[in-house]
Structure 1
Amino acid sequence: MDWTEKYRPTTLSEVRGNDKARDAFAKWGRTWDDHRKAVILHGSPGIGKTSAAHALANDMGWETVELNASDKRTGDVIERFAGRAAMNATLAGAAEKTGDEATDRQQNRQLVVLDEADNIHGNYDRGGASAITKLVKQSEQPIVLIANEFYDMSRGLRKACQDIEFRDVSARSIVPVLRDICRREGVEYDSDALQRIAEENGGDLRGAVNDLQAAAEGNEKVTVESVVTGSRDRSMGIFAFLDAVLKEQEPRDALQSSYAVDETPDDLTKWIEGNITKVYEGEELARAYEFLANADRWLGRVRATQNYSYWRYAGDNLAAGVAASRDGTKGGWTRFGRPQFWPSSDKTADYVARKIAEQSGVSMDTARRDVIPFLATMTHHCKPRELTVAMAAAYELEAKHVSFVTGSGESTNKVESIVEDAQALRDEAMEEHSGSAFEGAVPSDEEDSQHEDESEPSADVGAGDDVDDIDDAEAAVADADGGTVEDETETDDDQSGLSDFF
């Protein structure tokens, strides 16, 4: 089991290394009825912000509702999920009445925790930032916003909340935590080994606990040597993890690799789901999806119960299960990418999502989560070519955008030729929409006599035909799909749904 979850603080008194912030947070909770303000806990990853929020809820006897703000970024979704909880004045299943009105009111609270609140980025998130700002001002329940970067949040949101900074945890505070875990796990240790783990993690308590678990794995005693050989492989980023699970390692080793990456099982599931079709196919893919579905069920239980021990079973499925689905190892290089719905400042991803949102009338969140993965599957490695050209024309994509969606190299001749053909398709569409307005144009000094001879001026062609360039691209997509815009019922079954997204 993941030690970071097994030994997650259950009360604020167990939160280490941020005594001042911890005390201020406890005071915020005790006096919430007096000020009724939301609070922002901000600081580096891995220093205990989310753990402190759940610990406070335990101390206060509050239920919790947790939402990752970067995954649910449209205003309507935030209002539906977080707003429903925040506006509840009383909650079913709350503590029994004590007879003390103030105490009963405190116990009938529900703590709304919005993680990654600094990944809300205003206009492109279709009201997400303004929805949260409105929420914290009107809430009937206490709200905690978790953020790594305080100043990445809007000024209006920052002003509406109290803020508490969590600082990096010092090595001096990390060592006692590691020592206590060793005692509770029955693991012997050298003091120098624990000190080395604490110093190497530079204030990241969660990372230090992960390193301790890695060093203790298969060893009777945690020594400096076992720390050197057993610590998380810091050269293994998320892409190396994807290689390990999807292409190289046996199930047991893949599970160990999942411990070596500083990502939650929830996030790892998204990374694998977003890249698995680049490696697996056929029966392998079907088996792997079964394991991912199982992982998602366990993650659902975590969200429903706030029991993070279930993360272990999600990890078993997403790492060992997906690796076991593979028929042997796979060679070659694969261009992995961040999940399409992943909150990102990447300009290429944002451009594609924004174009889809504008043309299709959906939110950027929907474009990232639903539309782009669909397009990526349908145009994988630019096949079929006609469909890829139509997609590039419909959304005005350049080479880097086509490369992002299809997984093909940006500088390849294939991608460049697709972009050229897409531009030609857009030019053709523009020419067709113009009708004959510019055909056979005459010099200006002949215009009067020309108009006298014509019963209807050719300029009238454009009067009722203000059609966006996208329309012909849609028609081209539908043609590539096996039909036309007017006759969608005759499209090829394999691609019949694609034109709907355009």
Structure 2
Amino acid sequence: MADWTETYRPTTLSEVRGNDKARDKLKQWAETWDDHREAVVVHGSPGVGKTSAAHALANDMGWETVELNASDQRTADVIEKAAGRAAMNTTLDGSASGGTRSTRQLVVMDEADNIHGNYDRGGAGAITSLVKESEQPIVLIANDYYDMSRGLRNATQEIEFRDVSARSIVPVLRNVCRSEGIEFESDALQRIAEMNSGDLRSAVKDLQAAAEGRDAIRLEHVVTSDRDRSTDLFSFLDVVMKEEGAEESITTAYSVDETPDDLTKWIAENVPKVYDGHELARAYDHLANADRWLGRVMATQNYSYWRYATDNLAGGVAAARDGTKGGWTRFNRPQFWPSKNETRDELVQRIAEREGVSMGTARREMLPFLQTMTHHCKPRELTVLMAAVYELDEAGVSYVTGSGETTNKVQSIVADAEELREAEMQSHAGSAFEGARRTPDEEVEGDDGASSDLLDDADDADDADSGSEDSDDDSQMSFSDFG
């Protein structure tokens, strides 16, 4: 059976459901591209129709599409070869009358917020240069707008696709059933829509699963357990500060792919945009309580205290509200964020590669663990070891420990970590140092430069091995060294 999400993918913008304003804004961007010549970022939760809208737009405009998916490795070279060439050229097609006409190429880059560290070396910078210099329209697709670099955000327009409501999903499911000749109970389609509220693509997938081997879909055919999906950060902020009560807010907090520490910062930054007066005072009281529990986590390394922080930052802040709030609010990234996105992403990528875990595991579980273990660079020996294992510079050590990047303490830790790594490399170099071994008398009488050159050559060889994709360095330190 063909994948219904592909079979019924919109072929024109008029078929895109649930985001009429965003859809119209995207069309206006395309129609006026010659005037502004800017790229656009289409962002929102997975499954809301961002990529489908981009391809439907190309069909409406009569443009060819060139697609580069972010799941591929995206170094600067790959981007320039795959998307850069198309973005810099204007193609000419022969017309029926024998003349020529200019044909646009729409460059579509999916998961533009998913460029991390060494794996995508130079990728973020290459994309920023691309959108600034492109001779063709570019659509960047992203789940989290604020996971993109500030430079890239400043160089583009942005259009947000909101979660698709169950009310908008049901007509789509109904049309699919009619096209497939499948009878249905309205309650069954409603249930599928509610299970997947926000995610149209998942709703169509669940519909296809329920219809497998059947010519009719009834309520009992629909799986009643909700899908395990992460909640979008901005949807979470709406739930807590505008829409739901304490219990629902706490439940939603556990489905957000962020730590309680980060959630507290996001709410503290944005709650004055929604609350005022007594509501705001009560909300800050609960945020202060959340911060106290987070402090206990740092002091005791007992992560069970996180739930008390979550109760306050989500349930407490929601309870501080006198009623529901309407309208749309532009939520800002916390002003006093510990470090730049690039620093965090580089750290997470290094941890994931070194420990052989996913980016999500490295960010949600391992990075907070390291932050707790080395808070304010204590104990110092452990902080030095961590900096050596992950090859951290001053910015990296500052991010993990919370200490100032320019302090003597952080700079001395980085220097000691470099010495530790050099000693580790030498101890595993084996016969490479045989020619450099001398007696104390030979060291005094011999040429120090020869020994130094040999050590430099060994270091250069080690650096070359560590940069190779196929290297297998058994001497590489890892997270197990903390045991």
Q: For the superposition of Structure 1 and Structure 2, which TM-score range results when normalised by the shorter chain?
A: 0.5 to 0.7
**2:10 aligned residue:** 9
**2:113 aligned residue:** 118
Check conservation: 2:73, 2:119, Cα contact below 8 A.
no
Shift of 1:90: 2.1
Q: Aligned partners of 1:429, 1:171: CA distance in 2, in Å?
A: 67
**2:161 aligned residue:** 166
Shift of 1:471: 7.2
SS of corresponding position for 1:228? coil
Check conservation: 1:197, 1:212, Cα contact below 8 A.
yes
Shift of 1:82: 0.2
Check conservation: 2:75, 2:119, Cα contact below 8 A.
no
**1:467 aligned residue:** 456
Check conservation: 1:91, 1:110, Cα contact below 8 A.
no
**1:181 aligned residue:** 176
Deviation sequence 1:194-241 (CA, Å, 0-9, x none): 000000012110000011111111122111101128x99869xxxxxx
Q: Aligned partners of 2:165, 2:463: CA distance in 1, in Å?
A: 58
Shift of 1:88: 1.3
Q: How is 1:313-392 mapped onto 2 (pairs within 5 angstroms)?
A: 345=348, 347-351=350-354
Check conservation: 1:109, 1:141, Cα contact below 8 A.
yes
Q: Aligned partners of 1:141, 1:39: CA distance in 2, in Å?
A: 12
Shift of 1:121: 2.7
Q: Which residues of structure 1 form unaligned runs of 5+? A: 236-342, 354-395, 399-421, 442-450, 478-496
Deviation sequence 1:13-32 (CA, Å, 0-9, x none): 00000001000001001111
**1:435 aligned residue:** 437
Identify if the C-alpha distance between structure 1 residues 156 and 472 changes in structure 2 by more than 3 Å, giving closer, same or farther: closer
Point out the more displaced range, 174-183 or 457-466. Answer: 457-466
Identify if the C-alpha distance between structure 1 residues 436 and 117 changes in structure 2 by more than 3 Å, giving closer, same or farther: same
Identify if the C-alpha distance between structure 1 residues 95 and 33 changes in structure 2 by more than 3 Å, giving closer, same or farther: farther
Shift of 1:474: 11
**1:376 aligned residue:** none
Identify if the C-alpha distance between structure 1 residues 44 and 472 changes in structure 2 by more than 3 Å, giving closer, same or farther: closer
Q: Aligned partners of 1:36, 1:151: CA distance in 2, in Å?
A: 23
Shift of 1:132: 0.7
Check conservation: 1:435, 1:461, Cα contact below 8 A.
no
**1:258 aligned residue:** none
Q: Aligned partners of 1:220, 1:18: CA distance in 2, in Å?
A: 31
Check conservation: 1:197, 1:208, Cα contact below 8 A.
yes
Q: Aligned partners of 2:118, 2:426: CA distance in 1, in Å?
A: 32
Check conservation: 1:120, 1:128, Cα contact below 8 A.
yes
Check conservation: 1:73, 1:128, Cα contact below 8 A.
yes
TM (norm. structure 1) is 0.51
**2:319 aligned residue:** none
Q: How is 1:445-460 mapped onto 2 (pairs within 5 angstroms)?
A: 456-457=445-446, 459-460=448-449
Q: Aligned partners of 2:452, 2:426: CA distance in 1, in Å?
A: 25
TM (norm. structure 2) is 0.53
Identity of aligned residues (%): 62
SS of corresponding position for 2:188? helix
What one-letter code is carried by the residue in structure 2 that aligns with 1:350?
E
**2:75 aligned residue:** 74
Does residue 207 of the first structure (1) align with residue 202 of the second (2)? Answer: yes
Check conservation: 1:69, 1:116, Cα contact below 8 A.
yes
Q: Aligned partners of 2:348, 2:106: CA distance in 1, in Å?
A: 29
The runs of 4+ residues in structure 1 deviating greater than 6 Å are 231-235, 471-475, 497-500
Q: Aligned partners of 2:348, 2:41: CA distance in 1, in Å?
A: 21
SS of corresponding position for 1:118? coil
Check conservation: 1:214, 1:232, Cα contact below 8 A.
no
Deviation sequence 1:431-486 (CA, Å, 0-9, x none): 6464227x369xxxxxxxxx9xx7x44634424323354678799x9xxxxxxxxx
Check conservation: 2:117, 2:349, Cα contact below 8 A.
no
What one-letter code is carried by the residue in structure 1 that aligns with 2:85?
R
Q: How is 1:218-229 mapped onto 2 (pairs within 5 angstroms)?
A: 218-228=213-223
Identify if the C-alpha distance between structure 1 residues 467 and 47 changes in structure 2 by more than 3 Å, giving closer, same or farther: same
Q: Aligned partners of 1:350, 1:96: CA distance in 2, in Å?
A: 54
Check conservation: 1:136, 1:160, Cα contact below 8 A.
yes
Q: Aligned partners of 2:141, 2:200: CA distance in 1, in Å?
A: 17
Check conservation: 2:118, 2:349, Cα contact below 8 A.
no
Identify if the C-alpha distance between structure 1 residues 70 and 210 changes in structure 2 by more than 3 Å, giving closer, same or farther: closer
Q: How is 1:3-402 mapped onto 2 (pairs within 5 angstroms)?
A: 3-92=4-93, 104-105=101-102, 108-121=103-116, 125-228=120-223, 345=348, 347-351=350-354
What one-letter code is carried by the residue in structure 1 that aligns with 2:170?
V
Q: Aligned partners of 1:20, 1:157: CA distance in 2, in Å?
A: 24
Identify if the C-alpha distance between structure 1 residues 69 and 198 changes in structure 2 by more than 3 Å, giving closer, same or farther: same
Q: Which residues of structure 2 form unaligned runs of 5+? A: 230-345, 357-387, 391-423, 476-483
SS of corresponding position for 1:111? strand
The total of aligned residue pairs comes to 290
Identify if the C-alpha distance between structure 1 residues 139 and 175 changes in structure 2 by more than 3 Å, giving closer, same or farther: same
Q: Aligned partners of 1:232, 1:126: CA distance in 2, in Å?
A: 38
Check conservation: 1:122, 1:130, Cα contact below 8 A.
no
Q: Aligned partners of 1:206, 1:72: CA distance in 2, in Å?
A: 25
Check conservation: 1:122, 1:129, Cα contact below 8 A.
no
Q: Aligned partners of 2:154, 2:204: CA distance in 1, in Å?
A: 35
Q: Aligned partners of 2:347, 2:203: CA distance in 1, in Å?
A: 27
Check conservation: 1:436, 1:461, Cα contact below 8 A.
no
The Cα RMSD (Å) is: 3.8
Check conservation: 1:46, 1:204, Cα contact below 8 A.
yes
